[in-house]
């Protein structure tokens, strides 16, 4: 690239580029790439004043320091654990996110995964393809009358509660900042994390990832879960200790797990796996092994961080991100992440 951009977008699709190009005329020199920021080794970041990224970009301190003019990071996601917020704060960089865009799309996806697990959809499809159908092995579980435990009751977790009510489920929730109006609106009961794990037939995670809730579902909490329970994660992979999850699934205690996110997510790119083979063994090597085991388990569903991905949700993300940038340029920033 010959000219340094003032506004740079990473991890973009053709639709992103078309949308932002049309909407941001005369707002600055625009740069677009489908690559994550750490993978684009040719771009000159020195003149970037506004940066927009998605979840695959690892915006670490080294990369931030390559952008001395950076004033705004507009992440096109709700979570921001892939941004070094400490370094951003030190350099007086504002971070804006897209809160709440996935309240329905992620909640619906979580229930799609749950239903697929409980009704053994994937084994059933595989049996149809093979022609060897055995209904005894496809006996599923009803959701009606079951207890669902929701970890995190923001906009997504709240919508999960609404859907659960439609299925006739009992709803428990854990949140360090409970929204007590939900207790009446959704017939929901807040409990401790330990009690939620002990009493729930299904546990679904909808919390942001922070240092405080790293491995919030660890071996101790997994040990408290009911025999035959299901675990769903469409939030962040680091919320679950994947090594401990492998162990409890292998023991037969849990009936199944469905993960749209997982630790070491980036290693599912083939080039990352090749790099692991040629380099020294590190934590990513363990993640790769754990995820390989999970992928082979018949009662586990892995999906490619796709819960957010609907036409309606993508357009909403684009609109909110554009508005975040415009409001910042007008000296009235919105959706600012507290760091």
In tens, the pLDDT along 109-124 reads 999 999 999 999 999 9
Based on the domain organization, do 79 and 128 belong to the same domain? Answer: no
**CATH code of the domain in which 181 resides:** 3.40.50.720
Inside any domain, residue 293: yes
Based on the domain organization, do 325 and 270 belong to the same domain? Answer: no
Based on the domain organization, do 229 and 167 belong to the same domain? Answer: yes
Inside any domain, residue 196: yes
The answer on pLDDT for 79 being more than 60 is: yes
Based on the domain organization, do 59 and 129 belong to the same domain? Answer: no
Based on the domain organization, do 173 and 212 belong to the same domain? Answer: yes
Based on the domain organization, do 285 and 180 belong to the same domain? Answer: yes
Helix pair 283-296, 242-250: axis angle to 10 deg: 30
Inside any domain, residue 338: no
Annotate the chain with three-state secondary structure. CCCCCCEEECCCCHHHHHHHHHHCCCCCCEEECCCCHHHCCCCCCCCCCEEEECCCCCECHHHHHCCCCCCEEEECCCCCCCECHHHHHHCCCEEECCCCCCCCHHHHHHHHHHHHHHCCHHHHHHHHHHCCCCHHHHCCCCCCCCEEEEECCCHHHHHHHHHHHHCCCEEEEECCCCCCHHHHHCCEEECCHHHHHHHCCEEEECCCCCCCCCCCECHHHHHHCCCCCEEEECCCHHHECHHHHHHHHHCCCCCEEEECCCCCHHHHCHHHHHHHHHCCCCHHHHHHHHHHHHHHCCCEEECCCCCCCCHHHHHHHHHHHHHHHHHHHCCCCCCECCC
- Per the annotation, the verdict on 236 as an active-site residue is yes
Inside any domain, residue 294: yes
Based on the domain organization, do 232 and 271 belong to the same domain? Answer: yes
Task: Say which of 11, 238, 263, 265 is annotated catalytic.
Answer: 265
Angle at 337 between CA 335 and CA 339, to 5 degrees: 160
Inside any domain, residue 335: no
pLDDT category of residue 330 using cuts at 50, 70 and 90: very high
Inside any domain, residue 336: no
What whole-number distance in Å separates Cα of residue 6 and Cα of residue 34? Answer: 17
Mean local confidence (pLDDT), 148-177: 97
Based on the domain organization, do 155 and 240 belong to the same domain? Answer: yes
Range of the domain at 282: 105-302
> Is the Cβ–Cβ distance between 261 and 237 less than 8 Å?
yes
Based on the domain organization, do 93 and 128 belong to the same domain? Answer: no
Give the count of beta carbons closer than 10 Å to the beta carbon of residue 126.
Answer: 12
Inside any domain, residue 160: yes
- Per the annotation, the verdict on 90 as an active-site residue is no
Inside any domain, residue 164: yes
Task: Say which of 236, 238, 263, 290 is annotated catalytic.
Answer: 236
Give the count of beta carbons closer than 10 Å to the beta carbon of residue 214.
Answer: 13
Q: What is the pTM of this model?
A: 0.86
Based on the domain organization, do 68 and 111 belong to the same domain? Answer: no
The answer on pLDDT for 178 being more than 50 is: yes
pLDDT category of residue 293 using cuts at 50, 70 and 90: confident
């Amino acid at each position: 690239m010959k000219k340094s951009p003032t506004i740079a977008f990473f991890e973009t699709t053709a639709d992103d580029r078309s949308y932002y190009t049309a909407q941001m005329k005369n707002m600055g020199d625009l740069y677009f790439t489908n690559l994550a920021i750490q993978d684009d080794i040719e771009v000159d970041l020195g003149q970037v004043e506004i940066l927009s990224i998605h979840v695959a970009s690892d915006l670490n301190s080294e990369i931030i320091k390559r952008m001395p003019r950076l004033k705004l990071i507009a992440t096109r996601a709700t979570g921001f654990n892939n941004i070094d917020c400490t370094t951003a704060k030190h350099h007086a960089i504002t971070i804006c996110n897209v809160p709440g865009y996935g309240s329905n799309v992620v909640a619906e996806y979580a229930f799609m995964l749950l239903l697929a697990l409980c009704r053994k959809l994937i084994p059933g499809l595989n049996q149809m393809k093979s022609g060897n159908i055995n209904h005894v092995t496809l006996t599923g579980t009803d959701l009606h009358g079951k207890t669902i435990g929701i970890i995190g009751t923001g906009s997504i977790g709240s919508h999960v509660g609404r859907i659960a009510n439609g299925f006739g489920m009992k709803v428990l929730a854990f949140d360090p900042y409970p929204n007590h109006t939900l207790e009446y609106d959704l017939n929901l009961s807040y409990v401790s994390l330990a009690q939620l794990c002990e009493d729930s037939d299904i546990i679904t995670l909808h919390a942001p990832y922070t240092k405080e809730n790293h491995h919030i579902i660890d071996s101790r909490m997994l040990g408290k879960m009911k025999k035959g329970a299901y675990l769903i994660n469409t939030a962040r992979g680091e919320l679950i200790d994947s090594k401990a999850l492998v162990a409890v699934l292998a023991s037969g205690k849990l009936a199944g797990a469905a993960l749209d996110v997982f630790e070491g997510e980036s290693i599912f790119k083939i080039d990352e796996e090749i790099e692991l083979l040629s380099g020294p063994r590190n934590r990513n090597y363990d993640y790769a092994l754990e995820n390989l085991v999970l992928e082979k388990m018949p009662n586990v569903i892995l999906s490619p961080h796709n819960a957010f991905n609907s036409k309606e949700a993508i357009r909403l993300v684009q609109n909110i991100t554009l508005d975040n940038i415009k409001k910042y340029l007008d000296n009235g920033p919105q959706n600012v992440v507290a760091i």
